[in-house]
Protein backbone atom coordinates (compact mmCIF):
# COMPACT_ATOMS: atom_id res chain seq x y z
CA UNK A 1 0.00 0.00 0.00
CA UNK A 2 2.91 2.38 0.64
CA UNK A 3 4.04 2.00 -2.98
CA UNK A 4 0.60 2.93 -4.32
CA UNK A 5 0.38 5.92 -2.01
CA UNK A 6 3.84 7.19 -3.05
CA UNK A 7 3.05 6.63 -6.74
CA UNK A 8 -0.24 8.49 -6.42
CA UNK A 9 1.47 11.34 -4.53
CA UNK A 10 4.17 11.56 -7.21
CA UNK A 11 1.60 11.64 -10.03
CA UNK A 12 -0.43 14.28 -8.20
CA UNK A 13 2.65 16.41 -7.62
CA UNK A 14 3.68 16.07 -11.27
CA UNK A 15 0.19 17.07 -12.38
CA UNK A 16 0.23 20.16 -10.14
CA UNK A 17 3.63 21.23 -11.44
CA UNK A 18 2.55 20.82 -15.06
CA UNK A 19 -0.74 22.67 -14.61
CA UNK A 20 0.85 25.48 -12.60
CA UNK A 21 3.58 25.88 -15.20
CA UNK A 22 1.05 26.22 -17.99
CA UNK A 23 -1.05 28.74 -16.08
CA UNK A 24 1.89 31.05 -15.40
CA UNK A 25 3.48 30.92 -18.83
CA UNK A 26 3.09 33.98 -21.01
CA UNK A 27 2.81 34.14 -24.75
CA UNK A 28 5.06 36.31 -26.88
CA UNK A 29 2.73 39.32 -26.97
CA UNK A 30 2.25 39.21 -23.19
CA UNK A 31 6.00 39.10 -22.70
CA UNK A 32 6.37 42.25 -24.83
CA UNK A 33 3.84 44.02 -22.61
CA UNK A 34 5.68 42.82 -19.51
CA UNK A 35 8.99 43.99 -21.00
CA UNK A 36 7.48 47.41 -21.66
CA UNK A 37 6.39 47.64 -18.03
CA UNK A 38 9.87 46.69 -16.83
CA UNK A 39 11.36 49.35 -19.12
CA UNK A 40 9.02 52.00 -17.71
CA UNK A 41 10.32 51.11 -14.26
CA UNK A 42 13.93 51.28 -15.44
CA UNK A 43 14.47 47.54 -14.93
CA UNK A 44 16.23 46.94 -18.24
CA UNK A 45 17.59 43.55 -17.21
CA UNK A 46 14.10 42.11 -16.75
CA UNK A 47 12.94 43.99 -19.81
CA UNK A 48 15.70 42.41 -21.88
CA UNK A 49 14.82 38.95 -20.56
CA UNK A 50 11.14 39.43 -21.45
CA UNK A 51 11.88 40.64 -24.99
CA UNK A 52 14.41 37.88 -25.58
CA UNK A 53 11.98 35.22 -24.35
CA UNK A 54 9.27 36.73 -26.59
CA UNK A 55 11.53 36.37 -29.64
CA UNK A 56 12.36 32.80 -28.67
CA UNK A 57 8.65 31.95 -28.49
CA UNK A 58 7.89 33.84 -31.71
CA UNK A 59 10.91 34.73 -33.88
CA UNK A 60 8.59 36.83 -36.09
CA UNK A 61 7.34 39.08 -33.29
CA UNK A 62 8.30 42.45 -34.76
CA UNK A 63 7.54 44.36 -31.55
CA UNK A 64 9.78 42.10 -29.49
CA UNK A 65 12.61 42.26 -32.03
CA UNK A 66 12.40 46.05 -32.26
CA UNK A 67 12.45 46.52 -28.50
CA UNK A 68 15.24 43.98 -28.14
CA UNK A 69 17.27 46.06 -30.59
CA UNK A 70 16.68 49.10 -28.40
CA UNK A 71 17.93 47.25 -25.33
CA UNK A 72 20.99 46.08 -27.26
CA UNK A 73 21.69 49.73 -28.12
CA UNK A 74 21.30 50.66 -24.46
CA UNK A 75 23.82 47.93 -23.61
CA UNK A 76 26.12 49.27 -26.37
CA UNK A 77 25.91 45.87 -28.05
CA UNK A 78 25.56 47.51 -31.45
CA UNK A 79 26.18 44.48 -33.65
CA UNK A 80 23.31 42.61 -32.03
CA UNK A 81 21.16 45.74 -32.32
CA UNK A 82 21.88 45.86 -36.07
CA UNK A 83 20.85 42.23 -36.35
CA UNK A 84 17.58 42.86 -34.47
CA UNK A 85 16.66 45.92 -36.52
CA UNK A 86 17.47 44.16 -39.78
CA UNK A 87 15.19 41.29 -38.75
CA UNK A 88 12.40 43.79 -38.05
CA UNK A 89 12.87 45.34 -41.50
CA UNK A 90 12.94 41.93 -43.15
CA UNK A 91 9.60 41.08 -41.53
CA UNK A 92 8.08 44.56 -41.92
CA UNK A 93 9.82 46.64 -44.63
CA UNK A 94 7.57 49.63 -43.82
CA UNK A 95 8.66 49.80 -40.16
CA UNK A 96 10.14 53.28 -40.39
CA UNK A 97 11.15 53.42 -36.71
CA UNK A 98 13.36 50.37 -37.26
CA UNK A 99 15.04 52.26 -40.12
CA UNK A 100 15.70 55.22 -37.84
CA UNK A 101 17.02 52.99 -35.06
CA UNK A 102 19.24 51.14 -37.51
CA UNK A 103 20.61 54.47 -38.72
CA UNK A 104 21.32 55.50 -35.12
CA UNK A 105 23.07 52.19 -34.50
CA UNK A 106 25.22 52.60 -37.60
CA UNK A 107 26.23 56.03 -36.32
CA UNK A 108 27.32 54.44 -33.05
CA UNK A 109 29.39 51.94 -35.03
CA UNK A 110 31.10 54.77 -36.93
CA UNK A 111 29.39 53.95 -40.24
CA UNK A 112 27.96 57.32 -41.35
CA UNK A 113 27.31 56.24 -44.94
CA UNK A 114 25.07 53.37 -43.84
CA UNK A 115 23.45 55.62 -41.23
CA UNK A 116 22.55 58.18 -43.90
CA UNK A 117 20.98 55.50 -46.11
CA UNK A 118 18.78 54.33 -43.23
CA UNK A 119 17.83 57.88 -42.20
CA UNK A 120 16.86 58.67 -45.80
CA UNK A 121 14.73 55.51 -45.90
CA UNK A 122 13.19 56.48 -42.59
CA UNK A 123 12.20 59.93 -43.88
CA UNK A 124 10.78 58.50 -47.10
CA UNK A 125 8.71 55.85 -45.34
CA UNK A 126 7.50 58.27 -42.70
CA UNK A 127 6.37 60.76 -45.36
CA UNK A 128 4.43 58.04 -47.16
CA UNK A 129 2.85 56.91 -43.91
CA UNK A 130 1.85 60.45 -42.94
CA UNK A 131 0.37 61.09 -46.40
CA UNK A 132 -1.81 58.00 -46.01
CA UNK A 133 -3.06 59.13 -42.63
CA UNK A 134 -3.90 62.68 -43.71
CA UNK A 135 -5.89 61.59 -46.77
CA UNK A 136 -9.66 61.78 -46.43
CATH superfamily for 27-134 is: Tetratricopeptide repeat domain (1.25.40.10)
pTM of the predicted protein model: 0.78
By C-alpha distance, which of 12, 55, 14, 7 is closest to 31? 55
CA distance 61 to 48: 15
* Domain residue spans of the chain: 27-134
Q: What is the pLDDT along the chain (136 residues), one digit of tens a residue?
A: 565 556 444 454 444 434 333 434 889 999 999 999 999 999 999 999 999 999 999 999 999 999 999 999 999 999 999 999 999 999 999 999 999 999 999 999 999 999 999 999 999 999 998 888 886 5
Amino acid sequence: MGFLKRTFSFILLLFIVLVTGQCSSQNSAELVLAGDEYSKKGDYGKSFDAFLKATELDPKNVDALYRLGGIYNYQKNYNKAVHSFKNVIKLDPAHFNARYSLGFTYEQLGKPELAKIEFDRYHSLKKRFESLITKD
